[in-house]
Amino acid sequence: MSTRPLDATRELATAAGLLAYSEVAEHLAVNIAHCLDALLEKPSEDIRITPEWICDIHRCIAGELFPEWAGCFRTTDVQVGTHLPPPGHEVAVHIKNFCLDLEERLRHLRGAESIAELLAWADWRFQWIHPFKDFNGRVGRILLIVLAYKLALPPIDPASAESGKAVYFGALRAADVGNLVPLTDLWLNRLLQGGLSPLLS
């Protein structure tokens, strides 16, 4: 999810000068590809998802254009659509707890449904915290791809197709009020439709 306005043609002040959001997105896409290549070359057991790791991912994709705040948790309060993420001064604690919770949940997986539940929880909780000033959705997708890698699943693309964004955002909002079922169902369908069922039994 992004806090950017609907007008994606606006210009952003970057280290490379004023760039249209579409140009920024192109730069980020290249950096994301390089970041994922480097991550997926490592043995999965060597990747530990920590607050520092999450900040490094954000810095890897955005540091070139936004060196002043890339890789730093936001310190201000924000609103994302109708969602009010936790205040800026609480972000570091929420992310630390997220990483500890994720590490524990990874120890208790049994079959497709529990994997879908884990991915749904991680997907929602990271976006609920919304730890950075911008580009949280991109960092969240890298996180989910790395989780799939650590779970020895075939590569997945967690980005929702344009036609499915309304359903996805609706599922996130349901999770905000304690109902993770819609998002878990989305993840379970994604896993099974990807032909992953033999690997998840």
Residue 113 maps to a domain: yes
Nearest to 58 by CA among 83, 85, 87, 28: 28
pLDDT for res 199:
46
CA atoms within 13 A on the CB side of 158: 25
192, part of any domain:
yes
Q: Please name the residues in contact with 199: beta carbons below 8 A apart, sequence gap of 6 or more.
A: 152, 153, 154
Tell me whether residue 15 is in a domain.
yes
4 in a structural domain: no
Enter the pTM of the model: 0.90
Whether residue 190 has pLDDT greater than 70: yes
Q: What is the CATH number of the domain that holds 56?
A: 1.10.3290.10
Q: Is residue 6 situated within a structural domain?
A: no
Rounded CA separation 81/86 (Å): 14
Is the residue at 2 inside a domain? no
Question: For residue 8, what pLDDT is reported?
Answer: 53
How does pLDDT run across 99-153, given as a tens digit for each residue? 999 999 999 999 889 999 999 999 999 999 999 999 999 999 999 999 999 999 9
User: What number is the average pLDDT over the span 66-71?
Assistant: 98
Average pLDDT of the residues in 181-195: 87
Q: What is the pLDDT of residues 140-186, one digit of tens each?
A: 999 999 999 999 998 787 876 676 889 999 999 999 999 999 999 99
Q: Return the percentage of the chain with pLDDT > 90, whole number.
A: 80
- What is the pLDDT, as a whole number, of residue 198? 43
Residue 1 placed within a domain: no
Q: Could you give the number of structural domains in the chain?
A: 1
Determine the structural domain holding residue 126 and report its residue range. 11-200
The distance of Cα 51 from the centroid of its chain, to the nearest Å, equals 13
pLDDT of residue 193: 76
Q: pLDDT band at residue 195, thresholds of 50, 70 and 90? A: low
Q: Residue 114 falls within a domain, yes or no?
A: yes
